[in-house]
């Protein structure tokens, strides 16, 4: 339900049936007081309005040329050319072939000797197999660019000190691009990092929900082949091991929390019905609301594999590739977003966004103060992220406008991060508080 208070502040507690539909009429939003340096927000809004048509063109271009993880060559080209023309220094193929970095630094006339802060921003680029831009990364790409340019223009206009580091981050969909970039030090210079993500939700809303931490497990069973009719007793059946492991996990599911997710597949090489299979491979994704819970859950899943190996006599090899963590939305950054959003652009909630999906940005939020708000775009029923219908939603005018709105709010937060010492002290403080909370979560999970 969205209501207006006398001050013009919108409050929203959205029940699950309140997703924004394409046929919904526009809700009116009014500005109110309480915005830090409103003249800066005005400059940001002016800059993003100037970029509107050009950004729309880039977004539709990416949408028409969907590229899978680590193949974002066209997006790399289009986005780096765009931001370079706006006066940023561009490093193409930054650490990874399709990653890039655009930087800008400014010293104001009253520049002090203190080190200036660096604002990090992320632009995602990759699409999905078969469904194209069904996660709206074309919108995230232009949002990063809009935020970076708007912050740059504000720094110049108001003579402020600060640096901007916009990363073009490949392979969010199953490629863990940001985890690789983190390992390679691409986030080291940043004092805070911002990005956003589209999802279904109430009209013109933003969401500060978290998402699920995700651990992966790859399991190989090695058995021994035999003629399935002539001498099956000579075989050690790796298909049976996979079936038992699958069933073990299915039984475990009844004893885990409703917020946990365990899902997997299995396959094998050169299987035939008349041969006892000597190999099988399983891929599992194990998700929970926090990294600590996901790790504890993984420890309960592993015996399911070992038991299947024991029962069938197969050798078990377990591989655990890099994990992604839950989103730790920085409280001070989130409060600022809430204030700005409710004053200017719409409602804020904690239940929508990408709350039971996962993102490699979670790992960034564990390293440095960060914010990853979701923002609503109009969707049809059962047409959320990763569907053909969502692909249609991510190229609508309304989705574009919603992207620019969240970008304006993020740019205003970004300028405050680099300029306002007191505000940044709160950002740091709430990051440290959350670190303690995480430690507590690990203790509670018995890890
Ligand atoms: Zn996705
Ligand atoms: Zn996504």
C-alpha 198 – ligand 1 centre gap (Å): 10
C-alpha 395 – ligand 1 centre gap (Å): 16
**255 exposure class (CB count in 10 Å sphere: 0-12, 13-18, 19+):** exposed
C-alpha 253 – ligand 2 centre gap (Å): 26
Q: Residue holding tokens 């805070």?
A: 192
In whole angstroms, give the CA distance from residue 120 to residue 94. Answer: 15
C-alpha distance across the termini of the chain, in Å: 41
C-alpha 153 – ligand 2 centre gap (Å): 28
List the shell of residues around ion ligand 2, using CB closer than 5 Å.
Answer: 135
Quick one: which ligand is closest to 128's CA?
1
> Which tokens in the block code for residue 361?
């940005």
CB-CB contact of 436 with 429 (8 Å): no
User: How much is the pLDDT for 446?
Assistant: 83
Quick one: which ligand is closest to 138's CA?
2
pLDDT tens per residue, the chain (447 residues)?
344 434 344 444 444 458 898 888 877 666 556 899 999 999 999 999 999 999 999 999 999 999 999 999 999 999 999 999 999 999 999 999 999 999 999 998 876 656 699 999 999 999 999 999 999 999 999 999 999 999 999 999 999 999 999 999 999 999 999 999 999 999 999 999 999 999 999 999 999 999 999 999 999 999 999 999 999 999 999 999 999 999 999 999 999 999 999 999 999 999 999 999 999 999 999 999 999 999 999 999 999 999 999 999 999 999 999 899 999 999 999 999 999 999 999 999 999 999 889 999 999 999 999 999 999 999 999 999 999 999 999 999 999 999 999 999 999 999 999 999 999 999 999 999 999 999 999 999 887
C-alpha 203 – ligand 1 centre gap (Å): 21
List the shell of residues around ion ligand 1, using CB closer than 5 Å.
Answer: 135
C-alpha 385 – ligand 1 centre gap (Å): 6
* In the chain, domain spans: 2-210+327-439, 213-319
> Which tokens in the block code for residue 385?
């992220």
C-alpha 231 – ligand 2 centre gap (Å): 50
C-alpha 341 – ligand 2 centre gap (Å): 22
* Domain spanning 2-210+327-439, CATH class: alpha beta
C-alpha 58 – ligand 2 centre gap (Å): 18
H helices, E strands: number in the chain? 11, 16
In whole angstroms, give the CA distance from residue 354 to residue 331. Answer: 18
C-alpha 391 – ligand 2 centre gap (Å): 12
CATH code of the domain made up of 213-319: 3.30.70.360
Report CA 328 to chain centroid distance, whole Å: 11
Quick one: which ligand is closest to 357's CA?
1
Quick one: which ligand is closest to 386's CA?
1
């Amino acid at each position: 339900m969205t209501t207006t208070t006398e001050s013009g502040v919108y409050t929203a507690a959205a029940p699950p049936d309140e997703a924004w539909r394409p046929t919904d009429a526009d809700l009116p939003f009014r500005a109110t007081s309480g915005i830090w340096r409103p003249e800066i927000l005005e400059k940001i809004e002016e800059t993003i309005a100037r970029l509107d048509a050009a950004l729309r063109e880039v977004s539709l271009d990416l949408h028409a040329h969907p590229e899978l993880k680590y193949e974002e060559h066209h997006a790399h080209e289009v986005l780096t050319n765009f931001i370079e023309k706006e006066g940023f220094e561009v490093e193409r193929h930054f650490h990874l072939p399709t990653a890039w970095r655009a930087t800008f630094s400014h010293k104001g006339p009253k520049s002090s000797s203190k080190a200036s802060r660096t604002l990090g921003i992320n632009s995602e680029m990759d699409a999905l197999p078969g469904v194209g831009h069904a996660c709206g990364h074309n919108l995230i790409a232009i949002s990063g660019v809009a935020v970076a340019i708007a912050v740059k223009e504000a720094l110049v206009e108001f003579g402020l000190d600060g640096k901007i580091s916009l990363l073009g981050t490949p392979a969010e969909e199953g490629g863990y691009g940001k985890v690789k970039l983190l390992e390679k030090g691409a986030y080291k210079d940043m004092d805070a990092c911002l990005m956003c993500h589209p999802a279904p939700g109430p009209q013109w809303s933003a969401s500060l929900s978290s998402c699920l931490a995700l651990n992966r497990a790859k399991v190989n069973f090695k058995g021994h082949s035999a003629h399935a009719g002539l001498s099956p007793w000579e075989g050690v059946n790796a298909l049976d091991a996979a079936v038992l492991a699958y069933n073990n996990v299915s039984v475990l599911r009844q004893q885990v929390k409703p917020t946990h997710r365990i899902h997997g597949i299995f396959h094998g090489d050169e299987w035939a019905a008349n041969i006892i299979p000597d190999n099988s491979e399983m891929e599992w994704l194990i998700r929970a609301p926090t990294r600590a819970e996901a790790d504890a859950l993984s420890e309960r899943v592993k015996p399911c594999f070992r038991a299947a190996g024991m029962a069938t006599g197969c050798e078990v090899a377990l591989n655990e590739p890099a994990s992604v963590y839950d989103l730790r939305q920085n409280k001070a950054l989130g409060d600022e977003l809430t204030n700005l959003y409710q004053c200017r652009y719409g409602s804020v909630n904690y239940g929508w966004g990408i709350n039971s999906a996962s993102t490699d940005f979670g790992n960034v939020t564990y390293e440095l103060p960060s914010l990853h708000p979701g923002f609503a775009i109009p969707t049809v029923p059962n047409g959320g992220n990763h569907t053909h219908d969502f692909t249609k939603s991510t190229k609508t005018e309304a989705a574009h406008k919603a992207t620019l709105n969240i970008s304006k709010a993020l740019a205003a937060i970004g300028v405050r991060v680099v300029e306002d010492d007191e505000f940044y002290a709160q950002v740091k403080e709430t990051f440290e508080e959350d670190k303690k909370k995480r430690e507590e979560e690990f203790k509670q999970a018995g890890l």
